[in-house]
Every structure is written in structure tokens, then in C-alpha cells.
A = this chain, B = another copy of it.
Amino acid sequence: MLTKADFLRAKQRILTSLHPTPLHFSRTFSRYTEHQVWVKPENLQKTGSFKLRGAANRMAQLTDAERARGVITASSGNHGAAVAFAANQQGIPATVVMPEGAPRSKVVAVRGYGADVVFYGHYPDERKEHARALTSEQNLTYVDSNEDEDIIAGQGTCALEILEECPDVDVILAPIGGGGLVSGVAAAAHHLRPDVQVIGVEPCGAASMSASMAAGEPTSVDVETMADGLRSRKPGPMTFAYCEQYLAKIHRVSEAQIADAMVLALERLKLLLEPSGAVALAGLLAGAVTGSDRRVVVVLSGGNVDLARLVSIMQDHDPVFPRRDMRP
């Protein structure tokens, strides 16, 4: 398992690759929850999500030979963009395997960061397999999005920044998809402040980590959620082990709660979040943090959503949140 030194070194390694994303205090959400609430706006991070943290940390540790040959990953989303960007920053060739018919904006983004795009299949599993085949064929280095301690250490730097800015934080909320972010955040927070509670938030429609924790081992679930960044059928053994060891608990949120959080973030925080990026906030508003007057930081993990999709979510959205109680 990662040590305190691993996280601190990761932070040094990636410092210059990142945008600062200072904590932002929310009066509105503080009043509503009766806690003191800050958000960590990783939607403002380069590439629009926290994923650059792990990718930059991973790239920085390749050998010269690995750097010359290049990296490959399979991702249609934020991890793919982050690997493309980090590789480009460090002068490493990158290939991203994307699904046939991937949204044009995502393909343009990955190519804009200088990576080669290979189209293959429709399902994550077949893409991953294809990427692994190319890995050995072309002697590339495969960069997994979650099951990799360099990736987890990179994502954990998010907690180091939170603790620097808000040293007496009581609770940190982060979303769970593949589990890389929440593993890194929970382990890093534990090493620096063992009494900080890290709560993972998962969509009810992709609750593979909850199911796995209940079963005591990585377990498959059916997945259907608007939070496309968190559509994980089954956690890997590594993130499962981190979550078992370090998470205070997991809270699950409905699709309506996710949409609500997304709309409220836009309206009240003036921040655009993708559905996955709003999941931890949805957890907070749905009561994941008990008690009162606790110092809570919510990780808003990403903001990459097509505006057409945003409009359709806003239009379909039937607010569940008691808006009248929200003082501006």
C-alpha cells in the first residue's frame, strides 16, 4: 500500500503540471446542510477533471526507454484526455483506444492534446483487451485508469491540497467510479490526518463498490447511470483493498439527486459539472454527512459535459431538492 512519502513525492512530481484549484466556501450549501461546506473544483483542473493528477504522476515515472516507445490507454472519457495531455506535456507519444462512434468533441479533445486515436468496439472490456493487444504488439506501456498505485498516488494529491488549505477538515466526500480517486484521497488523508473521515459516494445505478464491500470481495453489478465517468461494473482488487481499509462509508445517490446537484452547482456555485462531477455534492445534499457544524470538503471531480446534454438534463429534470429552503 502507498505510504505518506509516496503521496508527498507524487505532489512534488506533478506540481507544475496542474492548475491550482483552491477550495471555495459555499454559504448556500453550508446553510442548507448546517455544516461548513467547501468545494474542491477539479472541474477547473486542466483537461476538465482530476484525472490529470494520476496520469501526470504515472508519466513522470516511466523509464527513458518506455517514454521513447510511448503509452496506450483505453478510455473514451476523462482518463483518456488526461493521459493524452500528460504525455504531450512530457513529450511522450500516446495512443487512446476509443469506441467506434465516440462523441466528436471527445475525439477532437484527445487529438487536440496530440494523441493518436484508435477506434475499436463498443464496450469498455473489448477496448481494454484491444489496447492490451496493441501494448505487446507495439511494445507500448499500458496505463490503467484505476488499478495502478502511481495513478492512485496522483489522485491522492487532491487530499494533500485540501488538508493544506483546510487543515481542520472533518469530512471529505469524493465520488466512486473505478475507485482510483477515492482510494488515493482516503489513503492520503489517513496518512496525514487519521481522524479525517473520507466518504465515497456512488450512483445507485453503478453501486459496484457498495456491493463489493457488502460481499467482502470485488463483485459485479449491472450499471445504468447518467454519471458516465462512474460506470464501473466491478472494482479491481487494488482499489477494493484501499476502499476496505480507508473509507469511512459509502453513500448512494439516485439519478434525480445527481441531476439536482448538477443544476444546483450551476445555479449557486456558477460551476459547470458533468454528472459524475456532481455525485459527491449529491451525496452531501442527500444527507451523507450526519451531525452538524462539521467542516466538509466536497470534491467536484470534473466538468466535461456536452452543452446539448446539459440542456437536456436541465429540461428533463424534476427537482427533488427543497429549493425553498435554499437561501441564496
Contact = CB atoms under 8 A, between A and B. Distances in A.
Interface of A: 19-20, 22, 24-25, 27, 43-44, 46, 48, 105, 108-109, 112-113, 263, 266-267, 269-273, 303, 307, 311, 314-315, 327-328
Contacts of A43: 270
Contact of A272 (B19, B20, B112, B271): B271
Contact of A20 (B22, B109, B267): B22
A109 B27 CA distance: 13
Contacts of A22: 20, 22
Contacts of A328: 105, 108-109, 112-113
Nearest to A27: B46
A314 B303 contact: no
| Residue among A112, A307, A328 having the largest count of chain B Cβ atoms under 10 Å | A328
Contacts of A113: 328
A321 to B, nearest CB: 13
A90 B263 CA distance: 31
A88 to B, nearest CB: 11
Given A27-B46, A108-B328, A266-B307, 8 more contacts: A19-B24, A22-B22, A24-B44, A266-B272, A267-B307, A270-B273, A271-B272, A311-B311
Q: Closest 3 CB pairs between A and B?
A: A270-B303, A109-B328, A270-B272
Contacts of A108: 328
